[in-house]
A and B are shown apart, each in its own frame.
Chain A
Amino acid sequence: ILNVEQSPQSLHVQEGDSTNFTCSFPSSNFYALHWYRWETAKSPEALFVMTLNGDEKKKGRISATLNTKEGYSYLYIKGSQPEDSATYLCAFRITGNQFYFGTGTSLTVIP
């Protein structure tokens, strides 16, 4: 079993603050890195899929970067809003269909 680590485990920020979290993964046999947002009692929602070293993706106020050589990805949220409150999961895929998820970063945005 490969280890995917996410930090911090949880985070409380004020509305309007920008924030970021980290996903660390093994750098060998890399195929893809996924980010999901998971709100309580809902399905995890796909945010980004990144495959190339140096990839940067953006969706509204959320963006992500990828460094496959050192084995990490950052997720950034600019100007956090209460509706951004959720658990953010990353998943590391090696060749084949094997996915390894982190335990997530729980974000609470305080109005």
Chain B
Amino acid sequence: GAVVSQHPSWVICKSGTSVKIECRSLDFQATTMFWYRQFPKQSLMLMATSNEGSKATYEQGVEKDKFLINHASLTLSTLTVTSAHPEDSSFYICSARYRGQETQYFGPGTRLLVL
């Protein structure tokens, strides 16, 4: 149980385009979802936390107008990288948690390459 999927697993796009990444909890209701980013040889860095039906809380230094997060249902959160630039190339990974639980369940991640 507690499976989280993420789509796509790989995306290559041109500079200036927008990219949407989906994170789904397949067998549980995720009241909270987290989005992380990882640059090479660095740790996972929390970008934002979203609770179902409310606006995401962004970490310091993360531009909310650039990284749009929507958590419209208890099983789906999306991260849209708007007007992507080469410096946005990174590994993006989501996790989900259900009410009353501390454990996070992670998706497999999305590797984004912006040319």
Binding site for B on A (CB under 8 A): 4, 32, 34, 36, 41-46, 49, 51, 89, 91, 93, 97-104
What's the nearest-Cβ distance from chain A to residue B108, in Å? 5
Q: Which residues of A contact B59 (CB under 8 A)?
A: 98
Closest 3 CB pairs of A and B: A101-B44, A101-B43, A44-B106
Q: 1/0 contact trace for B24-65 toward A, CB 8 Å?
A: 000000001010100001111110010000000101000000
**Are A99 and B46 in contact (CB-based, < 8 A)?**
yes
Number of A-B contacts (CB under 8 A): 48
Given contacts A41-B108, A49-B102, contact A97 B43 (CB under 8 A): no
Residue interface mask B100-113, A partner, CB < 8 A = 1: 00111111110000
Quick check: B49 and A97 within 8 Å, CB to CB?
A: yes
Q: Does B81 contact A (CB under 8 A)?
A: no
- Interface pair B43/A42, CB less than 8 Å apart: no
* B4 touches A (CB below 8 Å): yes
A34–B104 touching, CB < 8 Å: yes
Question: For residue A99, which residue of chain B has the nearest CB?
Answer: B46
The reply to whether B108 and A42 contact each other, CB–CB distance below 8 Å, is: yes
Q: Which residue of B lies closest to A45 (CB)?
A: B106
Decide: A51 and B102 in contact? CB cutoff 8 A.
yes
Contact (Cβ within 8 A) A36 B106 = yes
User: Is B43's CB under 8 angstroms from A46's CB?
Assistant: no
Neighbouring B residues of A34 by C-beta, 8 Å: 102-104
The interface residues of chain A lying within 8 Å CB-to-CB of B57 are 97
Across the interface, do B46 and A46 meet the contact criterion of CB distance under 8 Å?
Answer: no
Give A100 to B45 CA distance when docked, in angstroms: 7
Alpha-carbon distance A97/B34, docked complex (angstroms): 9
Give the chain A neighbours of B103 by CB distance below 8 A.
34, 46, 49
Show 12 residue pairs from A and B whose CB-CB distance is below 8 angstroms, ordered by the A residue: A32-B102, A44-B106, A46-B104, A89-B43, A91-B44, A97-B32, A98-B59, A99-B46, A99-B104, A100-B43, A101-B44, A103-B43
B115 to chain A, nearest CB (A): 23
